[in-house]
Amino acid sequence: MFCSLSPGSRSDALQHGTSGTLPHFLQEPDDAYIIKSNPIKLKCRARPALQIFFKCNGEWVHQSQHQSQEHTDQGTGLKIREVMINVSRQQVEDFHGPEDYWCLCVAWSHLGTSKSRKATLRIAYLRKNFEQDPQGREVPIKGMIVLHCRPPEGVPVAEVEWLKNEEPVGSDGNINTRADHNLIIQKARLSDSGNYTCLASNIVAKRRSLTATVVVFVNGGWSLWTDWSACNVRCGRGVQKRSRTCTNPAPLNGGTFCEGMSVQKSTCNALCPVDGGWGEWTEWTVCNAECARQRSRECTAPEPKHGGRRCDGATLGTDNCTGGLCTQSEVLSLGLEVSSDVALYSGLAAGVVTVVVLIVAVTLYRRNQSEYGVDVIDSSALTGGFQSFSFKTACQGNPLLINSSQQPDLTVSQTYTSPICFQDSMDKELISQEPSLFDPLPDLKVKVHSSFMVSLGVSERGAEYHTQKAHPQTFPRGLAPDYSGVGLEGTLRGRREKTLLGPLAPSKPSRPPLRTAGVFGHAGGRLVVPNTGVSLLVPHGGIAVDTTWEMYMVINQDDSSRYNTRQEVLLSPEVTYGPLGLDLSCPVAMTIAHCAEVAADNWSIRLKRQTQDNKWEEVMSVEEESTSCYCLLEAQCCHLLLEHPGRYALVGEPLSQEAVKRLRLAVFGSADNTNPLGYSLRVYCVDDTPYAFQEVASAERVRGGCLLEEPKTLLFRGNSLSLQLSIQDVPQFLWSIKPFTTCQEFSFSQVWASNQHPLQCAFSLERYSPASSQLSCKISVRQVKGQEQILQVYTSVEVVPFFTQSDCTITSQMGSRAFKIPLSIRQRICATFDTANAKGKDWQLLAQKLCIDRNLCYFARQESPSAVILSLWEAQHQDTGDLDSLASALEEIGKVHSTHSTSSRTSTQTTTRTTATLGRSTEELDAEFT
């Protein structure tokens, strides 16, 4: 239309400029968003321009939809043309193209055309639901807080703002709100507690997320001990104490209270005051020149101590020698005579004392020699001194046994000089009155004098004595503290055998560990800790030929409070297998029972291993894949493939308050020994694992309790709410119950950490009449705002039912009897599926059909992936022993391979034969293997 100019338009061309310039856009259309149903106005302005038209999505906009204006630039005199169009929401929605809706302007002048930029038009929106709402958290003070927020989808992209208690949260050195819409608080403070909301907004609307409550708690800490108080008595034995308070810091916002005692008491001995007393007077001195003599005494009988009064009176006494009749010369002469007499008498006394001492010494020496001579000659005393039967011998000469007035020297290694004999009843009474003298300590070597000092600790009889006193060595090889006394025959099995010392048990464990052990060779086998849900499978071929290992498995029963925090909970017993130097060519399969409800993804469960410095390190998370370990988590147990001996445990971190831990509830009853009409009901709440209930059952079997109701399972949620137990429907006219015991409660922390000690509460009842022999009632166990279980009690008090339990006593199985899959079948499967074919590694399909297709990278690094998969299948099916699932999987694989190509016929035939063999009875399989 605008290819040339008519003659009548020449004047217009001059007005628009004939200087030879193309149109220049003074305003171009901008990108815009259509909000709701409001149309968008696009505007263009150019100079000089004969015409301006819009072009949208490659098509010209009709001239009727343009609104044009024209005016003259006052500076240049050139005309400026301005054009505007409206774009509706319907136009944008109806457009379907590879890119967004766009428009541009085209301006004409007498020299040509110019195009503006493209303006993109989009419909603005903001959806209602957040892709991820922030979750409330409880964090310790100075811990890190991370609140995640993913805003709703929108155009344009929504901007995120965080609100705390409806006030905006700004970023500073400790708070970061710009980390990918997340709120990160590096070190939590008490002031950071509050309700946090994620606010998303764009040009269309604003959206608010769910409110996340953040609680910053402070665990209590003990203050320093105060000084010991003064003894509460002025004299003698008393008590003093010191105290501390849980104020360093005080627990806040639900933090745990300090564990331990707030007051310590100690016995004290207050020293009683001792008043002084005078000792004896000394002899009078010789008269001096003044005709006086003196004597003295000291305040030492006793000396004043601990504030006691000193002696009253004089320490020096003076007296006249002659009553005042002597002179100075007389005194001198008298003094010389007295001094000479004293010297004479002193010499005679010293000589007499010396003679007496020599006589006594010679007499004692001869007597001792005669006594030792009797022991040397009497050889019967040596050979029969420690026999259990009695015999007659001379006991009069033995002062150690008969003469009770002469005490023996107990510091000389308990050395007896003659055999112990009981001559009459008086001797026996003397012996019985001093048990510490004749009862030798454990492992004490009793020596007997003879011509050569024969030690019974070395002689044959002494060896028998120690055998009776010593504890039997029941530790498995690898756990025994000392093998220095084991002979060659006890340390070698087959051609060669390796025995390494494992870790020693704690010096003072709170409970003795449960142990089992067995000697395994090339055929492998299985270790089982009875009634605990813990077992270990050693695969066939894992141990080299002509080599045996004495392997053991231990369940540690120490307190495990280190796991029971707000973050981690122990979900299984701690299990150790060894010895530490175990050398296997393929991993072992360990099965451990746990108490986590894993149906919902509310737990983060990890496998941990204890290091040499008694710290725990994370081996793997059961949700992740690892090449060092394999974990198959089931509803009630976990199967592990392990390559390194050590102590392992399953630890869980609850991800929300919906995390559930299974508890087993059981009620036992027994008669009250102190009250003939009394009866006691004991309710236990333990982790739902065979090991935890076995501990309760063993304790009740010892105390004579009987199980009154089948144990039930309670799902205990991690919502910080307590567990309540109450007794109901007790016959009021037949039985009475002690007041204040009808309803009892366990705190949340006690139940959440119940693996430390079995939780127990008791209800004490008393019948009004001996004729009331029947007891029926209900015991309700419920968590606040949680699940409830009812234990029905109906029992006869007079006829106590006997509590029985099907105990498993098999602790180890060696060779073929330990496996469900016969060895010949196992070898066929491994030979078939370990070989790759054109369709890939067949062991992967085997793992898929056996539902063990997670973490395949672990099997890939094994020398025989099929053998490891079958070992895991063995551990998974050890209780049922059902081979149907394996046979069905092999049959499906055979059908799949037969449809691929004819090249897999051999594999198909082998698989079919194996499937048919597995379909036979167990007796036939055993017979074939034999």
Residue 473 has pLDDT above 60, yes or no: no
DSSP states along 53-113: EEEETTEEPPGGG-EEEEEE-TTT--EEEEEEEEE-HHHHHH---SS-EEEEEEEEETTEE
For 218, which DSSP code? B
Give the separation between CA 725 and CA 744, rounded to whole angstroms: 5
Amino acid identity, position 855: N
Segment 747-753 mean pLDDT? 86
In angstroms, the CA 633 to CA 569 distance is 17
The encoded tokens of residue 846 equal 């085997």
Going by the DSSP 8-state scheme, the letter that residue 763 receives in this structure is: E
Which whole number is the average pLDDT over 104-125?
91
- Asked if 665 and 789 touch (Cβ cutoff 8 Å), the reply is yes
State the CB neighbour count (10 A cutoff) for residue 611: 11
Match 């144990």 to its residue by tokens: 711
Point out the least confidently predicted range of 69-83, 295-309, 679-693: 69-83
Omega within 30 of 0 (cis) for the link into 48: yes
Tell me: pLDDT of 406 over 50.
no
Q: Comparing 242-246, 492-496, 684-688, which segment has the lowest mean pLDDT? A: 492-496
Q: At what angle do helices 922-929 and 905-918 cross, to 10 degrees?
A: 110
Whether the CB-CB separation of 640 and 609 falls below 8 Å is answered with no
- Residue 798 banded pLDDT, cuts 50, 70, 90: low
Instruction: Name the average pLDDT for the chain.
Output: 76
Whether pTM > 0.75 for this model: the answer is: no
User: What average pLDDT does the segment 651-656 reach?
Assistant: 88
Question: Is the confidence at residue 598, as pLDDT, over 50?
Answer: yes
Which strand (E) or helix (H) includes residue 682?
strand 678-687
Q: What is the pLDDT of residue 726?
A: 92
Report how far residue 243's alpha carbon sits from residue 224's, in angstroms, rounded to the nearest whole number: 9
User: What are the structural domains, with CATH classification, of the chain?
Assistant: 24-123 (2.60.40.10), 125-217 (2.60.40.10), 515-656 (2.60.220.30), 660-796 (2.60.40.2660)
End-to-end CA distance of the chain: 103
- Give the per-residue pLDDT at 340: 53
> Which residues, in sequence order, are CB contacts of 372 under 8 Å at separation 6+?
417, 449
pLDDT at 756: 57
Q: What is the mean pLDDT of residues 112-117?
A: 91
DSSP 8-state symbol, 145: E
Higher pLDDT, 405 or 252: 252
